Amino acid sequence: MTPRAPSMAPADRRDALVGVTLQLLREHGRDVTTRQIAEAAGIAEGTIFRVVACKEDLVDAAIARAFEPGDLVDRIEGIDAALPLRERLVLLASIFQERVQATFALMQKVGLVRPPDHQHDSEAAEAWRTQVAALMTAVVGDDVERLDVPVDHFVHVLRLLCFAGSHQHIADGRLLSPEEIVDTVLHGHLRTERRG
């Protein structure tokens, strides 16, 4: 017999179920069952319906969570500012590539062709894009003076290349490595050092 999860407040139970459902969606897509969710959460199947009206409410909440920042901010802020610029940018590109690939894989698994509207076309989405640009600019740090373009353009191009180079269809199945992404952007936007 599966051990049962401890008692939780409804909001906490729902939050936990959303997390479990998101993991299962990555494996089973929308075919995930409430039985699978309950087993993974260590609860009786009926407990699910004490916190959501139907499975689709849980699925929708899980998909919405996949587009939230999660630990992205902490991971970017954790990049060591003492590293050389290229190393910092490779770490940044790796973080973005992991996120993009996980998001695209989930979208394909659940049949989405674009993010949910509230995650794409809202004031919150615009605020998030602004925050990401600021985080990326902070990773560039004092090396901003080495760029031959404005830093906002540099981080925009880097982000676009991370997106396009990490998408199987856009990249024609030839994904770019984080190193290729960074070298492409750096070689195009670093000032040529003056000689002598």
Convert the pLDDT of each residue in 157-187 to its tens digit.
999 999 999 888 888 889 999 999 999 999 8
The pLDDT assigned to 120 comes to 56
Q: Is the pLDDT of residue 154 over 70?
A: yes
The verdict on 183 and 93 lying in the same domain is yes
* Residue 121 pLDDT level (bands cut at 50, 70, 90): low
The verdict on 60 and 74 lying in the same domain is no
Domains contained in the chain, number: 2
Q: Is the pLDDT of residue 50 over 60?
A: yes
Give the C-alpha separation, 166 to 101, whole Å. Answer: 6
Q: Is the pLDDT of residue 118 over 80?
A: no
Among 8-17, 112-121, 184-193, top mean pLDDT goes to: 8-17
186 versus 121: which is more confidently predicted? 186
| pTM for this prediction | 0.79
Give the C-alpha separation, 33 to 41, whole Å. Answer: 12
User: Has residue 52 been placed in a domain?
Assistant: yes
The answer to whether 59 and 21 are in contact (CB under 8 A) is: yes
Residue 177 is classified by DSSP as: P
Residues in the chain: 196
User: Has residue 2 been placed in a domain?
Assistant: no
The pLDDT assigned to 83 comes to 97
The answer to whether 63 and 126 are in contact (CB under 8 A) is: no
For residue 37, the enclosing domain spans 10-65
The verdict on 78 and 115 lying in the same domain is yes
The pLDDT assigned to 68 comes to 84
Last residue of a domain, one of 42, 65, 88: 65
Q: Is the pLDDT of residue 132 over 70?
A: yes
The share of the chain scoring above pLDDT 90, in percent, equals 67
The pLDDT assigned to 60 comes to 92
User: Residue 65 to residues 10, 17, 95: CA-CA distances in angstroms?
Assistant: 18, 12, 18
The pLDDT assigned to 81 comes to 95
Give the C-alpha separation, 60 to 37, whole Å. Answer: 14
Give the C-alpha separation, 158 to 143, whole Å. Answer: 15
The verdict on 52 and 76 lying in the same domain is no
The pLDDT assigned to 119 comes to 55
The verdict on 86 and 159 lying in the same domain is yes
Give the C-alpha separation, 89 to 151, whole Å. Answer: 13
* Residue 126 pLDDT level (bands cut at 50, 70, 90): confident
Q: What are phi and psi of 33, to 5 degrees?
A: -105, 160
User: Has residue 89 been placed in a domain?
Assistant: yes
* Nearest-5° Cα angle at 99, 113 to 144: 115
